[in-house]
Amino acid sequence: MTLYLQAHLRHGKDFELKVNHELPLEGVTALFGRSGCGKTTLLRIIAGLERPRGAVVRFGGQHWQRGRQFLPLHKRRIGLVFQEHSLLPHLSARENLLYGYQRTPAEQRRLHPDEVTAMLGIEHLLDRRIDQLSGGQRQRFSLGRALLISPQLLLLDEPMAALDTQTKREIMPFLSRMAAESGVPIIMVSHSPDEVTRLADRVVFMQNGQIQNVETLREALARPDSPLFDDAGAASVLEGTLGEAGEDNARPFGPPEARLWLTSSAPAAGMDRTRISILARDVSLSLVDPQHISIQNHLPVTIERIDPPRDNRCVVACRTADGQLLLAEITARAVQQLGLATGKQVYALIKSVALLA
Amino acid sequence: MFQLGPAEWQAIEVTFKLCLYTTIILLLLATPVSWWLAQGRTQFRTVVQAIVALPLVLPPTVLGFYLLITLGPRGVVGQTLQDLGFQHLAFSFEGILIASVIYSMPFAVQPLTEAFRNLGRRPVEVASSLGAGAWDRFRTVIFPLSRGGFVVAATLTFAHTLGEFGVILMLGGSIPGETKVLSVLIYDHAEAMNYDAAHSLSLMLLIFAFATLFVVYSINRRFEVAKL
């Protein structure tokens, strides 16, 4: 399934959007870029809320817009979630949730209120007025409402931008669970590297109204200069199964040949497909597997690439035993002294791990 | 003092009919116009907005005069109607109804435009994405969320039509049961030095107008629509 987009649009003197791309649609695709780069406009074109002359929007085999042909939003079956809360103020929480469900023909319904409310943890809130809901709860209702039309595509416009950090942390697990369980392709606008690394499978980088490139999250994170890295510098994202905590509170992550131990108080149950993030500067390399050291996580890795030094520091890309990419940031001097080179087997010592989602 | 004769009752009936029909027609007409006006500010919209607001500043006699020469037997509309075998519209109830619709237009359009602007585009976009078509969106989202604007528009239109005088006199004259509305009847009574009758009708209108405005401003405070 792909989404073909061709559009040329000018707003005033300063803004020009020009795209001609075919985007694959499995999983979560993030439109990433600074504010004003045109990502929200692109999302509105996909939704049919903007209708630039001459644009072409093709979803799978179906033309949503081409020439004079234009399918209005209410016939596209797109779930839309906006950044600020957009529940209809004159309806109750339940009426909001069911507004689209009631308008979806029975034979098209794949998701039903019971499973969606359970997935989003909002069963106990259905009878509230919407001004009795917190920001995070409102956003969960917006997500549920969009899911209940059994959409062919979900568009999320910075769904967490208006939420505080605490609420974001509360919403994030629901979003990633929704992405994994609903089976609906998602396009998400974001300017937050954190959100993208947690949720996305693929990143569309946008700049000045143009699509720069489309990469899988892995590819995007393998570049040491990736725009996804914020001030903390390069980071890698590893995916794996998180096991249950043992007696010492440590939880195994990943397969035995590339096992990490995490101490985290977060969700107690084991989770499939969990993501963790490791900052490159928290990873050291050693030629031998050191004993008698406080760092608990040692992984055997193979050096795949050493990037040229910047400010005397090199990012070294290593392949773990289960084939994932781990970035280490070490000094150029260390690279020389240890004689590091592509293909060499070393041990990565990981000082700190952040559990995502 | 408040003894209403058959002439008064007839005038009240004509007036009430005129106000009611005007309000219904204007709500149907003003809703799409206001919606369109609320969608943005372009040069063309400003022109339309100015035309709609003209009756606010024009002397009613000017409006009445132009309507008379358009709708009357020699006017474009009046003559065409006659050629088709109908009556021309001067000195008829239909004529003053058309005049009222034009004359009270700003009192329906302005509160509705304001209400639609306050509504913003978000609720409508949300409803579309949830599968609601245009009429469904109007019925279940736009109308309930701008109900205050509709109440204000209806009340003001009704009350303003009640206060019409100049336009009706110019176009409709003073034909009992056809175009003689309360304001014209009061004028006739006063001309005939029949002050008692003029007084009772005037007081009635005064109380009604006050009650109407009181209702409008109470709603206005709650909904914050319609800045007039």
The full set of domains in chain B, from first to last, is: 7-223 (1.10.3720.10)
Instruction: Count how many pairs of residues, chain A against chain B, have C-beta atoms within 8 Å.
Output: 55
For the sheet with A153-157, list strands across it.
A78-81, A153-157, A186-190, A28-32, A202-207, A210-216
DSSP state of B139: I
Residue type, A210: Q
**In the prediction, which pLDDT does B2 show?**
60
How many other CB atoms are there within 10 angstroms of residue B126's CB atom?
A: 24
Residue with tokens 């034909």: B175
- DSSP-derived secondary structure for B189-204: HHHTT-HHHHHHHHHH
**In the prediction, which pLDDT does A233 show?**
78
* Most confident stretch, A258-267, A293-302, B14-23: B14-23
How many other CB atoms are there within 10 angstroms of residue A290's CB atom?
A: 12
Q: How far is B114 from chain A (nearest CA, A)?
A: 18
How many other CB atoms are there within 10 angstroms of residue A310's CB atom?
A: 12
Asked if the A235-356 domain carries CATH number 2.40.50.100, the reply is yes
Going by C-beta distance under 8 Å and a sequence separation of 6 or more, which residues neighbour residue B221? none
For residues A251 and A314, the answer to whether their CB atoms sit within 8 Å is no
A82 vs B123: CB contact, 8 Å cut-off? no
**In the prediction, which pLDDT does B228 show?**
40
Residue type, A192: S
pLDDT in tens, B134-190: 999 999 999 999 988 999 899 999 999 998 998 998 888 888 888 899 999 999 999
Instruction: Residue count of chain A, please give it.
Output: 357
User: Which of the four pLDDT bands, split at 50, 70 and 90, describes residue A270?
Assistant: low
**In the prediction, which pLDDT does A229 show?**
77
DSSP state of B178: T
User: Which of the four pLDDT bands, split at 50, 70 and 90, describes residue A120?
Assistant: confident
DSSP state of A60: T
Percentage above 70 pLDDT, chain B: 95
Helix (H) or strand (E) holding B29: helix B6-37
Residue range(s) of every CATH 3.40.50.300 domain in chain A: 2-222
| Residue B226 clears pLDDT 50, i.e. is over it | no
**In the prediction, which pLDDT does A263 show?**
79
Q: Mean pLDDT over all residues of chain A?
A: 87
Instruction: For B128, name the nearest residue in chain A, comparing CA atoms only.
Output: A74
**In the prediction, which pLDDT does A165 show?**
76
**In the prediction, which pLDDT does A357 show?**
57
| Residue B227 clears pLDDT 60, i.e. is over it | no
**In the prediction, which pLDDT does B117 show?**
92
* CA-to-CA separations, A351 to A125, A188, A230, A261, A283, in angstroms, rounded: 41, 32, 19, 11, 6
Residue type, A58: R
Residue range(s) of every CATH 2.40.50.100 domain in chain A: 235-356
**In the prediction, which pLDDT does A237 show?**
86
Helix (H) or strand (E) holding A32: strand A28-32
**Considering the entire predicted model, what is its pTM?**
0.78
Cα separation, B26 vs A28, in Å, equals 49
For the sheet with A325-331, list strands across it.
A283-286, A345-350, A297-306, A313-320, A325-331
Q: Looking at A208-318, list the stretches that DSSP marks H as alpha helix, in order from N- to C-terminal side.
A: 217-222
Using DSSP, how many helices (H) and how many strands (E) does chain A show? 8, 21
Q: What beta strand segments (E) does A116-192 contain?
A: 153-157, 186-190
**Is A49 an 8 Å CB contact of chain B?**
yes
**In the prediction, which pLDDT does A264 show?**
66
Instruction: For B144, name the nearest residue in chain A, comparing CA atoms only.
Output: A90
Tokens at B130, concatenated: 């949830």
**Is A74 an 8 Å CB contact of chain B?**
yes
**In the prediction, which pLDDT does A136 show?**
85
**Is B41 an 8 Å CB contact of chain A?**
no
**In the prediction, which pLDDT does A267 show?**
57
Backbone angles phi, psi at A188, to 5 degrees: -125, 130
pLDDT in tens, A213-230: 899 888 888 777 777 776
**In the prediction, which pLDDT does A268 show?**
55
| Residue A30 clears pLDDT 50, i.e. is over it | yes
- In whole angstroms, what separates CA A101 from the centre of its chain? 26
For the ranges A152-161, A283-292, B218-227, the lowest mean pLDDT is seen at B218-227
Q: Is A326 helix (H, G, I), strand (E, B) or coil?
A: strand
> What is the arithmetic mean of pLDDT over B98-126?
93
> What is the arithmetic mean of pLDDT over B46-66?
92
| Residue B1 clears pLDDT 70, i.e. is over it | no
| Residue A112 clears pLDDT 70, i.e. is over it | yes
* CA-to-CA separations, A113 to B129, B136, B221, in angstroms, rounded: 18, 22, 38
For the ranges A167-171, A184-188, A289-293, the lowest mean pLDDT is seen at A167-171
- Identify the bridge partners of residue A215 per DSSP, sorted by sequence position: A203
**Is A47 an 8 Å CB contact of chain B?**
yes
Task: Give the fold, CATH level 3, of A2-222.
Answer: Rossmann fold (3.40.50)
User: Which of the four pLDDT bands, split at 50, 70 and 90, describes residue B115?
Assistant: very high
> What is the arithmetic mean of pLDDT over A283-300?
90
For the sheet with A62-66, list strands across it.
A15-24, A2-11, A56-59, A62-66, A69-70
pLDDT in tens, A127-145: 999 999 988 889 889 989 9
| Residue A303 clears pLDDT 90, i.e. is over it | yes
Q: Which of A166, A163, A165, A159 is nearest to A30 (CA)?
A: A159
Chain A neighbors of B120, CB-CB under 8 A? none
B131 vs A77: CB contact, 8 Å cut-off? yes
User: Which of the four pLDDT bands, split at 50, 70 and 90, describes residue A19?
Assistant: very high
**In the prediction, which pLDDT does A104 show?**
94
Q: A87, A103, A138, A150: which to substitute to probe chain B, counting the most B Cβ within 10 Å? A: A103
| Residue A262 clears pLDDT 70, i.e. is over it | yes
From the list A49, A84, A100, the residue facing B131 with the nearest CB is A100
| Residue B225 clears pLDDT 50, i.e. is over it | no
> What is the crossing angle of helices B43-57 and B93-119, to 10°?
130
Instruction: For B121, name the nearest residue in chain A, comparing CA atoms only.
Output: A49
Q: How far is A207 from chain B (nearest CA, A)?
A: 26
A99 vs B129: CB contact, 8 Å cut-off? no
Residue type, B36: W
User: Which of the four pLDDT bands, split at 50, 70 and 90, describes residue B106?
Assistant: very high
Q: Is A85 helix (H, G, I), strand (E, B) or coil?
A: coil
Residue type, A63: H
For residues B128 and A47, the answer to whether their CB atoms sit within 8 Å is no
Q: Mean pLDDT over all residues of chain B?
A: 89
**In the prediction, which pLDDT does B214 show?**
86
Q: Which of B112, B119, B116 is nearest to B157 (CA)?
A: B112
Q: B124, B126, B223: which to substitute to probe chain A, counting the most A Cβ within 10 Å? A: B126
ipTM surpassing 0.85, yes or no? no
> What is the arithmetic mean of pLDDT over A33-58?
91
CA angle B132–A110–A72, rounded 5-degree value = 30
A47 vs B123: CB contact, 8 Å cut-off? no
Percentage above 90 pLDDT, chain A: 44
